[in-house]
Amino acid sequence: MRSNILILDGHPDPSADRLVHALVDAYRQGAEQANHEVKIVRLADLTFPLLRSQSDYERGEPVEAVRQCQHLMDWATHVVIFYPLWLGSMPAMLKALLEQMFRPGFAFSTKKLGGWPVKLLSGKSARIVVTMGMPAFVYRWYFRAHSLRSLQRNILKFVGFRRVRSTIIGGAGGMTRAQREDWLSNVRSLGEAAA
């Protein structure tokens, strides 16, 4: 089945040698090879303000770059978010973009249904791919993958994503060429399957 895939490249550094950018490209290649429709948002290419108040979050008007991201989020049936782990979490610019995008009225309704906000992005699936310098098992078991779990549960599932899977890539800074190629191949396969 053909999917509409939005890839969010959440690395704020535009340098072409970043592993996240290579992984994004590998996923795109696999998805396009399998005839999925793919759109990419590169965080490093966006300019938008930080939210500074609750009233701006609830009633402010998003800038054009954010509105375009929201339009692509609406279009997508599957969303893939790639980011490097910085100080134990996603980069601040990525969090700022998600705050701008997932506003009341777009991602959820302030009207309650059974005591809970209505999820306006229901039915979508997602994959989160996180790269980091530490070994993946340390992040998963010692740190309990806290930032990844927060993105899964407190953001994506809160607004209606039905299934959110994850891939953790540890030891990113010390990979051999063969290890890097293995990861690119694995991610390319995920793209083919729209998984």
Question: What does the pLDDT look like over 57-95, one tens digit per residue?
Answer: 999 999 999 999 999 999 999 999 999 999 999 999 999
Q: In the block, which residue shows the tokens 């078991």?
A: 141
Compute the average pLDDT of residues 91-105: 97
In angstroms, rounded to a whole number, what is the distance separating the alpha carbons of residues 74 and 6?
10
In angstroms, rounded to a whole number, what is the distance separating the alpha carbons of residues 187 and 195?
9
CATH 3.30.70.1560 fits 4-193, yes or no: no
> What digits encode the pLDDT tens for the residues 148-194?
999 999 999 999 999 999 999 999 999 999 999 999 999 999 999 99
pLDDT > 90 in the chain, percent: 94
State yes or no: pLDDT of 114 exceeds 80: no
State yes or no: pLDDT of 110 exceeds 90: no
> What is the domain partition of the chain in residue ranges?
4-193
In angstroms, rounded to a whole number, what is the distance separating the alpha carbons of residues 108 and 60?
15
Sheet holding 125-131, edge to edge: 37-42, 4-9, 78-84, 125-131, 163-169
Any idea which of 44-48, 56-60, 112-116, 152-156 has the lowest mean pLDDT?
Answer: 112-116
Number of neighbours of residue 33 by Cβ within 10 angstroms: 11
In angstroms, rounded to a whole number, what is the distance separating the alpha carbons of residues 190 and 127?
9
In angstroms, rounded to a whole number, what is the distance separating the alpha carbons of residues 69 and 134?
31
Check residue 12 and give its pLDDT: 98
Q: Which two tokens stand for residue 97?
A: 């973009």
State yes or no: pLDDT of 111 exceeds 90: no
In angstroms, rounded to a whole number, what is the distance separating the alpha carbons of residues 98 and 76?
16
